[in-house]
Amino acid sequence: MVAIVSLLTGLVALSSPATSGAVRRRSITPPAGCPIPTWTVNTFNWYNGSHSLDCIHNQVDISAQGCLCGTGWCAPDPATCNGSMVNVCWTGMPNYQPWGYGPPQTLDIKFADGLTCHDQYIGYRIHDIGHGESNCGYADRGEGRIVAFYGTSDVDSSIGHMDYTLGDGHALTCDNGSSITYSGSVDFPVTCIHDADFNATCTAPVFQVPVLSYEWVS
Ligand SMILES: *[C@@H]1O[C@H](CO)[C@@H](O)[C@H](O)[C@H]1NC(C)=O
Ligand SMILES: *[C@@H]1O[C@H](CO)[C@@H](O)[C@H](O)[C@H]1NC(C)=O
Ligand SMILES: *[C@@H]1O[C@H](CO)[C@@H](O)[C@H](O)[C@H]1NC(C)=O
Ligand SMILES: *[C@@H]1O[C@H](CO)[C@@H](O)[C@H](O)[C@H]1NC(C)=O
């Protein structure tokens, strides 16, 4: 359940991102008799449209009103709206692509070991793509796995950051029967292509997330 001991190497904190290329760090040596995972990200794909709804950071969107007509959106004009004028950012609004907005943000991360993360913006923090913890599928979050991605899609070329926590539910077993789990971090290059509407499609070359700390799981 709860970790009893947590040991960190002195190298965990990555304070200032490098200006180019992935910052490579060596994984820790695990305690004797314990397995250590290898985390390779084969696919990284992030779509952030210039008009994707953003109810967390964009004040214009936060205050915007739309015309909810039936199960969808009509032109946001109170004079012609045959449904009701509502805030587009209210919880539970349909499909998160109100009238006049572009497709919602999406993030897809595929690890070589089979883990696949898909996130789609749905209006609250755990889906705040590019700003930290992302949705790795709720079933898996229950196991404690966390994929946190930090980055920008505003420029063609930048450095992203990922913090990865394996989670107690995915603990590995050491020779002596103790359970152990791991975390890691990495900086990696992100390349974004912008279309004529400034919709951004961002990718990263294959990268590894080094294992930088471990925790005993009881
Ligand atoms: C409201 O009007 C639009 C056209 O302006 C129409 O497409 C839509 O079906 C109407 N919805 C309802 C609920 O009447
Ligand atoms: C790009 O953005 C425009 C404006 O929001 C939107 O209409 C269009 O669907 C987007 N295109 C793609 C390929 O996402
Ligand atoms: C997503 O795109 C919008 C519109 O271009 C931009 O303002 C915002 O900074 C982008 N988000 C991130 C995390 O880069
Ligand atoms: C297994 O070994 C680790 C050190 O390698 C130790 O901390 C842990 O308490 C041991 N577990 C058991 C059940 O002896």
pLDDT digits (tens, 9 = 90+) for 103-125: 999 999 999 988 888 888 876 66
Show the 3-state SS of 171-196: CEECCCCCEEEEEEEEEEEEEEEECC
Average pLDDT, rounded, for the chain: 86
Task: Please identify, by atom number, the ligand 4 atom nearest to the C-alpha of residue 216.
Answer: 7
How far apart are the CA of 56 and the centre of ligand 3, in A?
11
Distance from C-alpha of 173 to C-alpha of 181, rounded to nearest angstrom:
9
Ligand 2 mean position, distance from CA 62 (Å): 20
Spatial separation of the C-alpha atoms in residues 213 and 82, rounded to whole Å: 57
Per-residue pLDDT of 167-210, as tens digits, reads 899 999 999 999 999 999 999 999 999 999 999 999 999 999 99
Residue minimizing CA distance to atom 9 of ligand 3: 154
Could you tell me if 117 and 155 lie in one domain?
yes
Measured from CB, residues less than 6 Å from any atom of ligand 1 are 69-70, 74, 82-83
Is the Cβ atom of 64 under 6 angstroms away from ligand 4? no
> Are residues 64 and 154 located together in one domain of the fold?
no
Q: Are residues 130 and 197 in the same domain?
A: yes
Q: Are residues 87 and 115 in the same domain?
A: no
Which residues, 6 or more positions from 4, have their beta carbon under 8 angstroms from its beta carbon? 216, 218
156 and 200 in one domain?
yes
Domain identity same for 120 and 61: no
**Do 189 and 157 touch, CB atoms closer than 8 A?**
yes
Q: Provide mean pLDDT across the span 207-217.
A: 97
Q: What does the DSSP assignment read for 133-167?
A: EE-S-HHHHTTT-EEEEE--SSSSEEEEEEEEE--
In a shared domain, residues 38 and 130: yes
Number of structural domains found in the chain: 2
Distance 66 CA to ligand 1 centre (A): 14
| Contact (CB, 8 A) for 185 and 156 | no
- Residues 6 or more apart whose Cβ sits within 8 Å of residue 211: 27, 28, 30, 36, 37, 39, 182, 183, 184
> Do residues 110 and 80 lie in contact, with contact meaning Cβ atoms separated by under 8 Å?
no
Find the domain containing 92 and state its range. Answer: 55-101
Whose alpha carbon is nearest atom 12 of ligand 3? 152
Q: 122 with 166, same domain?
A: yes
Number of H helices, E strands in the chain: 2, 15
Cα–Cα distances in Å, from 108 out to 7, 86, 174, 190, 196? 31, 31, 32, 14, 23
What's the mean pLDDT in 145-149?
91
Residue nearest to atom 2 of ligand 1 (CA): 82
Residues within a 6 A CB radius of ligand 3: 48, 50, 130, 152-154, 198
Same domain, 89 and 25: no
